[in-house]
């Protein structure tokens, strides 16, 4: 693995453009549960079952209990060495884009700047009546939070299964993927579209694709480099002693 890390680091040092795709696994060491696998359950529900417009329409109170639980949990955790290392990497390479599927905001807290939060941010709420978006850091918003303007029911401003990504953000993510020299794919099961296609786009345009995950994923056989291990152990090694 040392050789592979050295090879990847060499490619990062040479790169003009670097794109990074992160998933729930990068926040696992901070204590944020991932969606699939261990820790993916809340009460008797799989997290994905509640992150849908249908679940919210059927029982907004239950959906809000789930999100209040996640908000409270995220409020109490810190970013970890992998988040920090990506913020440092951004300072080192000429053009850097971080594409995250995570809604926890930990990349922002760690200092990342050019960040595309393609699934939204858990600290934002959106009115289901007037569409107004607001930021609210109160961990528990209760089971029926209301819009300050029109009193409509609020929902989390995150992208749920079956919903479209913001068009401009998706375009920017695709653009970064297709133009990068190196793409890092960190802590994602690579099972959810369109994110899973970003590394495929990158590789088809000639980029070196490197995956960092504790286990193999559908992307592993496709990636040029697969580093099996914890993001918090491996990502800092890519930026240590840069030259």
Residues that bind ligand OAD (CB under 6 A): 23-25, 28-29, 34-37, 48, 51, 101, 119, 159-161, 187-189, 191-192, 212-215, 217, 230-231
- Provide the minimum distance between the beta carbon of 47 and ligand OAD in the complex, in angstroms, as a whole number: 6
Which is closer to ligand OAD, CB of 159 or CB of 176? 159
Q: Which residue lies nearest ligand OAD, judged by its C-beta?
A: 25
Which is closer to ligand OAD, CB of 168 or CB of 215? 215
- Provide the minimum distance between the beta carbon of 150 and ligand OAD in the complex, in angstroms, as a whole number: 26
- Provide the minimum distance between the beta carbon of 235 and ligand OAD in the complex, in angstroms, as a whole number: 9
Q: Which one is catalytic: 107, 119, 157, 243? A: 119
Cα 135 to chain centroid, rounded: 19
Q: Are 18 and 93 a contacting pair, CB within 8 Å?
A: yes
| DSSP for residue 220 | T
Q: What is the CA radius of gyration of the chain?
A: 18
Which is closer to ligand OAD, CB of 158 or CB of 176? 158
Q: What is the DSSP string of 62-89?
A: HHHHHHHHHHHHHHT----HHHHHHHHH
- Provide the minimum distance between the beta carbon of 23 and ligand OAD in the complex, in angstroms, as a whole number: 3
Pairing mode, if any, of strands 120-127 and 154-158?
A: antiparallel
Which is closer to ligand OAD, CB of 96 or CB of 198? 198
Question: What Å distances lie between residue 128 and 57, 68, 117, 156, 237, CA to CA?
Answer: 11, 18, 21, 10, 44
Which is closer to ligand OAD, CB of 97 or CB of 188? 188
Question: What Å distances lie between residue 61 and 23, 65, 159, 207, CA to CA?
Answer: 27, 6, 18, 45
Q: Is 119 a catalytic residue?
A: yes
CB atoms closer than 10 angstroms to residue 207: 23
Identify the three-state secondary structure at position 124. Answer: strand
- Provide the minimum distance between the beta carbon of 243 and ligand OAD in the complex, in angstroms, as a whole number: 26
Point out the residues that are catalytic. Answer: 119
């Amino acid at each position: 693995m040392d050789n592979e890390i050295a090879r990847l680091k060499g490619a990062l040092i040479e790169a003009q453009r670097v794109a990074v795709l992160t998933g729930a696994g990068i926040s696992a060491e901070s204590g944020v549960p991932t969606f699939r696998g261990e820790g993916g359950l809340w009460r008797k529900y799989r997290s994905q079952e509640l992150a849908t417009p249908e679940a919210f329409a059927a029982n907004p109170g239950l959906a809000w209990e789930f999100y209040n639980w996640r908000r409270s949990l995220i409020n109490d955790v810190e970013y970890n060495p992998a988040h920090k290392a990506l913020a440092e990497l951004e300072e080192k390479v000429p053009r850097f884009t971080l594409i995250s599927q995570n809604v926890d905001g930990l990349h922002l807290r760690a200092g990342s700047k050019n960040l595309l939060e393609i699934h939204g941010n858990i600290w934002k709420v959106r009115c289901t009546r007037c569409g107004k978006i607001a930021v609210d850091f109160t961990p528990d918003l209760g089971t029926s939070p209301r819009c300050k303007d029109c009193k409509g029911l609020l929902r989390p401003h995150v992208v749920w299964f079956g919903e479209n990504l913001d068009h401009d953000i998706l375009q920017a993510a695709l653009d970064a993927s297709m133009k990068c020299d190196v793409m890092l794919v960190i802590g994602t099961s690579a099972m959810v579209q369109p994110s899973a296609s970003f590394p495929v786009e990158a590789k088809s345009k000639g980029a070196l694709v490197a995956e960092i995950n504790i286990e193999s994923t559908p992307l592993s056989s496709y990636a040029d480099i697969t580093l099996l291990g914890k993001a918090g152990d491996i990502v800092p090694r890519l930026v240590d002693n840069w030259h």
